[in-house]
Structure 1
Amino acid sequence: MTERKRWSTGRKLLLLAAVCVLAAGGGVFAAVAPGAAHASLASEAGSPERTTPGLAAPVVPPATLVVAPADAAKQVNPAAPVTLTVSHGTIERVALTSEAGDAVDGKLSADSASWTASGPLKFNTRYTYTFAVKDAAGRTANNTRTFTTVSAANEADAAVYPLDGMKVGVAQPLQVIFSEPVVNRDAVEKAIKITSTSGQTGAFHWYSDTMVRYRPVDFWAANSTITMDMQLFGVDLGKGQIGNFNKKVTVHIGDKKVAVADAEAHTFTVSVNDQQVGQWPSTMGDARFPSARGFLVLMEKYRVEHMDASTIGLKPGDPAYYGQLDVNYATRLTPSGEFIHQATDSAMPYVGVENLSHGCIGLGPEGAKWVFDNMTAGDVVQVINTAGDFANFDDGFGDWNIPAGQYAN
């Protein structure tokens, strides 16, 4: 009788130890008392909902969370994924809202183990991320976290030319000017996909850390269509600057219109789709102001353009000073002031005979009007037999003066 009582007391102590360990776990993690091994331990431990008493205490693995972005994160890229993943549990509900109360859509996986935001985020915005997760024991925990996206000071925009839907000539390069310096050029180039109906491919050329252009090896095919698909939203330009837009631009190419301005022959010859359509006498830049050489791409047109000698540094008393005057049928070649235009009355006797302009190509009324009426932005003039240098890269579109093999940089 005494030995049986001692055995019962020992069994009670063993069970009491198991209860104490379980209590110490707060009821979240099950524990097994030392020495309480049993053949059914594995199956019992894997059944958190077991209600039949046994030697093994139930084991409930903790629900673990992986949340992105991290709580209180700042300068979060608005294109970065916003995700919630749970192990050993399920997601009951999720709400992602901006401080203005705008909700961001998201998708819950079929097994309710992960949630991913599908709607876009905004720049310079604080977001609240609220979610409820249930563990394997059926207990629900609520969580709230916050993060803030990239500030306005680190938001990078860009201007694109030609504009969407614009029709231009075969020599028009595609241009993107960024509001912030670009360090990660490769990332930007990969984010801009350019296709053409002619199948032509080309290359990018960076003229500065904010301006890049794209052109094919040869002129664009006449009457083709170019598409620029720019997926720059969220692209890291470098030094914390993040692209803020996606845009698709369609550019239509017209007929191939090429003019040749010969400073020695004093002629201006135009071909359309490789067929000559006209030739007119001209006067070009004199020895002091020779016309720029090479390929110049037409930019814009003015029925009447006002010209001022002071804008090119001329002052009264200079033999080349012409004061201020208006010219007809002006088609711009460079931002610095070279045009194709109708020669002034005083210059008309020299058209086809002598060069006396300040760099412009002067034509008679018929030739100047034909160019104005029939040529457009993106058409090209090749200036030959002039002592002038090539126009600077930022003085119009001199891209075709760079050999194709040297264009990509």
Structure 2
Amino acid sequence: MHGRRHHRWILGSLAAALLAVTAGCTTGSPGGLTAVAGTSASPSSPASTATAAGPSGSSSPSSPPTSSTTPVPPVATITATPALNSGDLAPADPITIGVAQGTIDALTMTNPDGNPVGGTLSADRASWTSGEPLAFGATYTVAGTATGTDGKQVAIAGTYSTVSPDVQVKNTIYPSDDMTVGVAAPIMVKFGVEPADKAEIAKHVTITTDPQVEGSWAWVQHDDGLWALDYRTKDYWPAGTKVHVEAKLYGVKVADGAYGRADVTSDFVIGRNQVVKADVNSHELVVTQDGQVTATYPASYGRGDNTGDTNLITRSGVHVVTDFDEIKYMSNPAYGYVNIPERWAVRISDNGEFIHANPASTDAQGYANVTHGCVNLSIADAQAYFHSAIWGDPVEVTGTSVQLGPDDGDIYDWGLTWDQWQALAAS
């Protein structure tokens, strides 16, 4: 009996020891068992590391930190000029959409009807550029995808809206299609408003001629208040020259709140070479074609150089024929006449100078200068000259004390020397 009790005591002691070891597995142990998974710990602050005390009161080593997985964003970046979702765009401005660190898989821009807008994808597929002008007052939708160098795909999406149609302005070209004009004819590309950036707008206007001719553009404000790019040749046009002018102004911003309504073009030809020689001291008007005299008319010019009244002087310089009236009512209240009908009137400047018939000065024609600045001919001679002239013919007046210039109205382009004209040239 004693031996069995001793054996039961030994077994009891072993069971107690095992129970103590089992309890230490959950709280800490002298053998350094770590905390179970899920215990919070801060890797950067040892003082806040969770510990578990064993039977001896010592602390266990810090638990290793745990981390969650954060998705890495795609490397491809979409860029656009103008920025996607922009509004109030000029219809003529190109749109470029690109991708950095990647290539474009597919991209479309569609108009409000769902039809695609033409465009070009670059050879390296890094950018797409629109290839046609947009409509006024419309919204366009962009959709596509690009794949980055990391193999991840990103979406391309957005819209563009253009300016309202009510901001359109009209632009014109003169001479117009199919005209035949004289060898001094200027070209006038007129704008509905004064361009804000004249040098930039000038880049949209081009001219081609056959044969090639030396000339240049200059900005001129005409009598109607409109600004124009005028083209003048260095010397007179060669007879028979074919001229094509193109102003690509549709959707182009001309000024704040003003955009070109349409592209405009003109194709015309230069006619025969007819030049009028008007030497006021000869009292004659001489018509030449290709350098040969075809007519000589007795004439009377302005009397201002004789009286000292500069208002009555026929201006010296190259005038340009611009208008024709079989009957022209002329007025100059300061000199006592209003609405006097004159026959076969050919305008040569906007300061009131005409070549026309005037029976009242018949006796002076060929002998003396008695007019208020016009060139007077007989009725028969004025009619003959009227029918020989075309828009753009030069009339070269010489022998007076006042030169034709900007103050004499509209087309004074030939009243400037070539150097003076080039000083006004549009870049």
User: Normalising TM by the smaller chain, what interval?
Assistant: 0.7 to 0.9
For residues 246-301 of structure 1, what are the alpha-carbon distances to aligned partners after superposition, in whole Å with 9 as ceiling and x for unaligned?
Answer: 33322311111111223222111111000011101012222342222211100121
> Matches of 2:173 and 2:348 in 1, distance apart?
20
- 1:166 paired with 2:179, answer yes
- 1:324 paired with 2:339, answer yes
Match of 2:337, SS? coil
- 1:377 paired with 2:381, answer no
Cα 1:399/1:128, change in 2 over 3 Å: closer
- 1:182 paired with 2:195, answer yes
Cα 1:393/1:257, change in 2 over 3 Å: farther
CA contact (8 A) 1:104 1:118 kept: yes
CA contact (8 A) 1:91 1:114 kept: no
Match of 1:353, SS? coil
Cα 1:394/1:126, change in 2 over 3 Å: farther
> Matches of 1:110 and 1:389 in 2, distance apart?
60
User: Which residue in 2 is equivalent to 1:149?
Assistant: 162
CA contact (8 A) 1:168 1:253 kept: yes
Match of 2:406, SS? coil
Residue correspondence of structure 1 range 6-405 to structure 2 within 5 A: 20-21=68-69, 24-25=70-71, 29=72, 61-86=74-99, 88=102, 90-92=104-106, 94-98=108-112, 103-107=116-120, 114-123=127-136, 125-133=137-145, 135=147, 144-151=157-164, 155=168, 157-208=170-221, 210-233=227-250, 237=254, 242-287=259-304, 288=309, 289-302=312-325, 304-309=326-331, 312-314=332-334, 320-344=335-359, 346-392=360-406, 395-405=409-419
> Matches of 1:113 and 1:206 in 2, distance apart?
41
> Offset of 1:234 from its aligned partner?
5.7
Structure 1 residues not aligned, in runs of 5+? 1-5, 10-15, 30-59, 315-319
Structure 2 residues not aligned, in runs of 5+? 1-33, 38-64
> Offset of 1:111 from its aligned partner?
7.7
Cα 1:134/1:239, change in 2 over 3 Å: closer
Cα 1:187/1:139, change in 2 over 3 Å: closer
> Which letter does structure 2 place at the counterpart of 1:341?
H
> Matches of 2:132 and 2:85 in 1, distance apart?
20
Cα 1:394/1:360, change in 2 over 3 Å: closer
> Which letter does structure 2 place at the counterpart of 1:307?
Y
Match of 2:240, SS? coil
> Offset of 1:172 from its aligned partner?
0.9
TM-score (norm 1): 0.74
> Offset of 1:131 from its aligned partner?
0.8
CA contact (8 A) 1:72 1:146 kept: yes
CA contact (8 A) 1:61 1:88 kept: no
Cα 1:267/1:116, change in 2 over 3 Å: same
Cα 1:109/1:331, change in 2 over 3 Å: same
CA contact (8 A) 1:188 1:237 kept: yes
CA contact (8 A) 1:333 1:396 kept: no
**Aligned alpha-carbon RMSD (Å):** 3.5
Match of 1:250, SS? strand
Cα 1:388/1:78, change in 2 over 3 Å: same
Moved more, 232-241 or 250-259: 232-241
For residues 184-229 of structure 1, what are the alpha-carbon distances to aligned partners after superposition, in whole Å with 9 as ceiling and x for unaligned?
Answer: 3333333333232232211223234923322121111122122223
Cα 1:331/1:89, change in 2 over 3 Å: closer
Cα 1:89/1:401, change in 2 over 3 Å: closer
> Matches of 2:211 and 2:185 in 1, distance apart?
15
CA contact (8 A) 2:172 2:189 kept: yes
> Matches of 1:329 and 1:300 in 2, distance apart?
11
Match of 1:255, SS? coil
> Matches of 2:124 and 2:143 in 1, distance apart?
16
CA contact (8 A) 2:182 2:270 kept: yes
> Matches of 1:359 and 1:68 in 2, distance apart?
59
% of aligned pairs identical? 26
> Matches of 1:194 and 1:95 in 2, distance apart?
33
Cα 1:262/1:114, change in 2 over 3 Å: closer
> Matches of 1:93 and 1:388 in 2, distance apart?
66
TM-score (norm 2): 0.71
